[in-house]
Amino acid sequence: MKIIAVMSPKGGIGKTTTSDSIAYMLGQEQGKSVLVLDGDPQGDTSKTFGRYEPEGIGMSELLEHHQNVGGRYRTTELIQSTEYDHIDIIPANGYLMRTDMNLLLKQEENQVTRLRDALAEVAVAYDYCVCDCGRLLDMVVINILLAAELVIAPVKVGGFENEAIHNLQEQVDDLREINPELRIKGLVTMRQKNKTSLEFEEWMKDSSGFDMFVTSVRRSIVAEKASMRMQPLPQFSKNCIVSQDYRNVVHELLRELEG
């Protein structure tokens, strides 16, 4: 099972749309078996895949009450099916903020590797695990990054966004002491066809020093409409320009991860 995390400390750049679209396309269009992890207490990915419950169990129980740490749950008990044949999910809700605090207070050797250990239980059952991370590098996200092999970092035009991906790269470099396989790949999102946007895109891909996707994701109101309808973008509008862009991103991923 290849584990992919989607993360950015900046909001409004299509992070959840990116993770949900990639998961949907890997599963429903490429026929891969996909496990989605919602690592954001807002639960937007859980809502997109129809499994959000404010009082439900999911990621919090996986991290705090798994049998590996003396709890009652196995990973398989926390996985929920979705309406999509190839996609399952471990959902999240607001309790994930409490989980972060609880993990932060623990002085145990496995407090940052709990997710990696729990996912080992289902590693042969899925081809991919796609994780939508929260914006903060909290204990939940650190657990995700220490289990992952690739971090996809959406970035859009702007100095603050550029600084954000630099900071994320530094954090990933620190975590590689524990997870040497972890690497980061930038993805230009919210792309607009103007001089400033095109110059920024060119600089990111050619001169920034970051590993970047060749594909850039264009900005479209369709993506915002899909999120309002709480549907995966490629299901909401299969052939819109943004879906086409994410389809190319997935093709890049498959070539890179599977050859």
What pLDDT, in 10s, does the model give residues 16-61?
Answer: 999 999 999 999 999 999 999 999 999 999 999 999 999 999 999 9
pLDDT at 194: 75
Mean pLDDT of 6-23: 90
B/e letters for 167-201, b = 16+ CB within 10 Å, e = fewer, are: ebbebbeebeeebeebebbbbbbbbeeeeebeebb
Cα separation, 244 vs 215, in Å, equals 10
Mean pLDDT of 13-17: 90
Here the tokens at position 83 are 């309406």
pLDDT at 209: 77
pLDDT at 243: 96
Residue 259 pLDDT greater than 90, yes or no: no
pLDDT band for position 160 (50/70/90)? low
Mean pLDDT of the chain: 91
pLDDT at 92: 97
Report DSSP state, residue 27.
I
Dihedral sign of CA atoms 122, 30, 241, 52 in order? negative
Residue 219 pLDDT greater than 70, yes or no: yes
pLDDT at 133: 95
pLDDT at 161: 62
Residues 6+ apart with CB under 8 A from 123: 1
Residue 158 pLDDT greater than 80, yes or no: no
DSSP secondary structure string for all residues of 234-245:
HHH-TTSHHHHH
pLDDT at 170: 84
Quick: pLDDT tens for 62-120: 999 999 999 999 999 999 999 999 999 999 999 999 999 999 888 777 889 999 999 99
